[in-house]
Chain A
Amino acid sequence: MKLLTGNDLPTGDVVWWTGNGWSRHVEDAVDVGVSGESILQAEEGARRVNVPYLIEATQTDEGPRPAHIKDRIRALGPTMRPDLTLKPADPNAGSWVI
């Protein structure tokens, strides 16, 4: 599957395309399939999100899992500071990333 991601313009937060908007949670991301490039162009034109780009991912029981470690770290947060991640209370969150 393909996901569309970028950084929210005012906050810089990592965001994922949900089909009708942007979410901070990769679990909400949808497969953009062959439409990815056109959504990217439209969203970049709307200037809501910084440097959007398309990535490869796989569907898992926990939701979409980005193929590259860099995007998995983006999806959760720094691996050595669980308190700064999106799931500070989940002790297993880091294992999903690495």
Chain B
Amino acid sequence: MYKYDEYDQAIVDQRVDEFRDQVRRRLSGELTEDQFKPLRLMNGLYLQLHAYMLRVAVPYGTLDGRQMRKLGHIARKYDRGYGHFTTRQNIQFNWIQLDQTPDILQELATVEMHAIQTSGNCIRNISSDQFAGAAADEVADPRPWAELIRQWSTFHPEFTYLPRKFKICVIAADEDRAAMRLHDIGIGLHVRDGELGAKIFVGGGMGRTPMISHEIRDFVPADDLMSYLEACLRVYNRYGRRDNIYKARIKILLHEIGPDEYRRQVEEEFAAVKGLGLDPPRAELERITSHFGAPEFDANASTDIDRSDPDFAVWLDQNVKAHKQPGYAIVNISLKPIGGIPGDASADQIDVMADLGTRYSFDELRVTHAQNIVLPHVRIADLHAVWSALNEAGLAEANLDLISDIIACPGLDYCSLANARSIPLAQKIATRFGSLDRQRDLGELKLKISGCINACGHHHAGHIGILGVDKKGTENYQLSLGGSGAEDVSLAKITGPGFSEDGVVDAIERVTDRYLQVRDPGERFLDTYRRVGFETFKEAIYG
């Protein structure tokens, strides 16, 4: 894992001091809310329905046990005993007091964490593959590149006031576990003729105008990556629509001028900036990369496993994934207990996960965009002990990628932007399909719920997506089908008129019933949907 050097630590510490003074001035009345709002947002502090909300960055979703324990401590001391893991691989605390925020940030700084650039029209937290460094299908660990981009983008003076927020994702595997094609810039590391480089995709995103990114360049040599990103951002910064917030994302720019013209301008800019020395020297990249070396795996670790406990065996089959190192496995901790709140974890549960990460996973944990937690490097011989501890803490739901593993935004229960509640609907759906046998029979089925058109719950990328809307003062839910955030990326299509909360649960059941009627052996829901088409399911929903 990356460790701060003196420069990293100094800028985070200085930022805490700066924000402490800004808070003091706000509380004294020296600053108005209009003056203070952009300052607090730059430090991840929102005002939501019931309280201030602090969004803490977890760079590329990677953290260690010490950092995880600090999050548990903050939940316990400053919040109401829990935190909410988000689709940006971050964590949010929902009950924060303004006057305590500088103290929280100061505590975070002691464990190399912060809330910088978790809001505002800047480059946000870099997201990545939660299996980085553990996946057998990756060509390189994407995290050194994500870290390099984090450093490049932090307080970047040219990109602090972009037309709109900007999200970058880096992966290095064929399988896309991070919704890379739905980012403003998606970077797919790959090897060509023995050389590591990046395929660059630009203009993806969800929100009110969902778009899949365009491939802008097949191969950027790794040594030129930062110059190329600089060029991509410069063209956007110059021509992005600042006159209309709804048209300000880079996806709209690409839509308006076309990917070919955008590519031409980027290449022109790239030629101009390439010689300016923006790319770090090899030694700096090697310094960063040295923090992400493989753990000291035991080459003789046993691959034997006792599956005699049926509950453990089900969890193994559903939540544990293959590791590139024989004798090890990747453990996925579901934060989606049946009837629970997607992405929430109590302070005690956070502590349990931190301790398990420290003891069994080389002190590493990951946050996933699906609002779950990963222990990336667990000995197969330790899996039963890990499962037992998770089970005791209420963290052993064996539902990874099943219909109850729902992504849901905070919705109208917390969010000032939301039009409808997401969490109670997620709870109802998970409860309706609660039987694990039934869920496993349905197989992989990614259901995602957003409480408004901003799509924080990724409903456009759901095999089944749900969008909450306000219909004359009451909650109404639009159903959509056929989305995917994976390597087979697609956008979900709205089925028709919306439903009440109970009505949409019934409609989902009609969809899954139809799937069971028409699927071929071995087909996932999405495969069947693509084979038989939208109308088959629409007919099932509306008759």
Whether A50 touches B47, Cβ cut-off 8 Å, given contacts A12-B52, A79-B421, A79-B424, is yes
Decide if the interface of chain B is mainly helix, strand, loop or mixed: mixed
Are A14 and B49 in contact, with the CB atoms below 8 A? yes
- Check if B423 is an interface residue, CB within 8 A of chain A: yes
> Which residue of B97, B99, B414, B473 is within 8 Å of A78 (Cβ)?
B414
Measured between C-beta atoms, what is the minimum distance from A13 to chain B in Å? Answer: 7
Enumerate chain B residues within 8 angstroms of A51, measured Cβ to Cβ: 33, 47
> A74 to B415, alpha carbons, bound, how many Å?
10
Measured between C-beta atoms, what is the minimum distance from B116 to chain A in Å? Answer: 21
Interface residues in B163-208 (C-beta closer than 8 Å to A): none
Measured between C-beta atoms, what is the minimum distance from B269 to chain A in Å? Answer: 40
- Check if A64 is an interface residue, CB within 8 A of chain B: no
Enumerate chain B residues within 8 angstroms of A78, measured Cβ to Cβ: 50, 413-414, 423
Measured between C-beta atoms, what is the minimum distance from B519 to chain A in Å? Answer: 33
- Check if B427 is an interface residue, CB within 8 A of chain A: yes
> A78 to B424, alpha carbons, bound, how many Å?
10
Are B33 and A69 in contact, with the CB atoms below 8 A? no
- Check if B74 is an interface residue, CB within 8 A of chain A: no
> Which residue of A47, A68, A73 is within 8 Å of B413 (Cβ)?
A73
Are B80 and A70 in contact, with the CB atoms below 8 A? no
Enumerate chain A residues within 8 angstroms of B474, measured Cβ to Cβ: 69
- Check if B51 is an interface residue, CB within 8 A of chain A: yes
- Check if B277 is an interface residue, CB within 8 A of chain A: no
> A7 to B33, alpha carbons, bound, how many Å?
12
Are A9 and B50 in contact, with the CB atoms below 8 A? no
Are A12 and B424 in contact, with the CB atoms below 8 A? no
- Check if A11 is an interface residue, CB within 8 A of chain B: yes
- Check if A84 is an interface residue, CB within 8 A of chain B: yes
Enumerate chain B residues within 8 angstroms of A50, measured Cβ to Cβ: 33, 47
Interface residues in A10-55 (C-beta closer than 8 Å to B): 10-14, 47, 50-51
- Check if A80 is an interface residue, CB within 8 A of chain B: yes
Measured between C-beta atoms, what is the minimum distance from A75 to chain B in Å? Answer: 10
Whether A11 touches B413, Cβ cut-off 8 Å, given contacts A74-B49, A74-B50, A80-B424, is no
Q: Mark A59-75, 1 if CB is under 8 A from B, else 0.
A: 00000000111100110
- Check if B272 is an interface residue, CB within 8 A of chain A: no
Q: How large is the interface on B (under 10, 10 to 19, 20 to 34, 35 or more residues)?
A: 20 to 34
Enumerate chain A residues within 8 angstroms of B51, measured Cβ to Cβ: 7, 11-13
Whether A10 touches B413, Cβ cut-off 8 Å, given contacts A68-B473, A80-B423, is no
Chain A, residue nearest B419 (CB): A70
Enumerate chain B residues within 8 angstroms of A10, measured Cβ to Cβ: 27, 97-99
Enumerate chain A residues within 8 angstroms of B414, measured Cβ to Cβ: 78
Whether A11 touches B97, Cβ cut-off 8 Å, given contacts A67-B473, A80-B424, is yes
Whether A12 touches B97, Cβ cut-off 8 Å, given contacts A70-B412, A78-B50, A78-B413, is yes
> A10 to B412, alpha carbons, bound, how many Å?
23
Are B98 and A11 in contact, with the CB atoms below 8 A? yes
- Check if B32 is an interface residue, CB within 8 A of chain A: yes
> A84 to B82, alpha carbons, bound, how many Å?
11
Enumerate chain A residues within 8 angstroms of B232, measured Cβ to Cβ: none
Chain A, residue nearest B475 (CB): A69
Are B98 and A12 in contact, with the CB atoms below 8 A? yes
Measured between C-beta atoms, what is the minimum distance from A68 to chain B in Å? Answer: 6
Are B47 and A12 in contact, with the CB atoms below 8 A? yes
Whether A79 touches B99, Cβ cut-off 8 Å, given contacts A10-B27, A67-B473, is no
Enumerate chain B residues within 8 angstroms of A13, measured Cβ to Cβ: 50-51
Measured between C-beta atoms, what is the minimum distance from A74 to chain B in Å? Answer: 5
Measured between C-beta atoms, what is the minimum distance from B16 to chain A in Å? Answer: 18
Are B473 and A69 in contact, with the CB atoms below 8 A? yes
17 contacting pairs across A/B (C-beta < 8 A): A9-B27, A10-B99, A12-B47, A12-B97, A13-B51, A47-B32, A51-B47, A68-B473, A70-B418, A73-B421, A77-B50, A78-B413, A78-B414, A78-B423, A80-B341, A80-B413, A80-B423
Binding site for B on A (CB under 8 A): 7, 9-14, 47, 50-51, 67-70, 73-74, 77-81, 84
Give 19 A-B pairs besides A7-B51, A47-B33 with Cβ atoms closer than 8 angstroms.
A10-B97, A10-B98, A11-B51, A11-B98, A11-B99, A12-B47, A12-B97, A13-B51, A51-B33, A68-B473, A70-B412, A73-B413, A74-B49, A77-B50, A78-B414, A79-B424, A80-B341, A80-B421, A80-B427
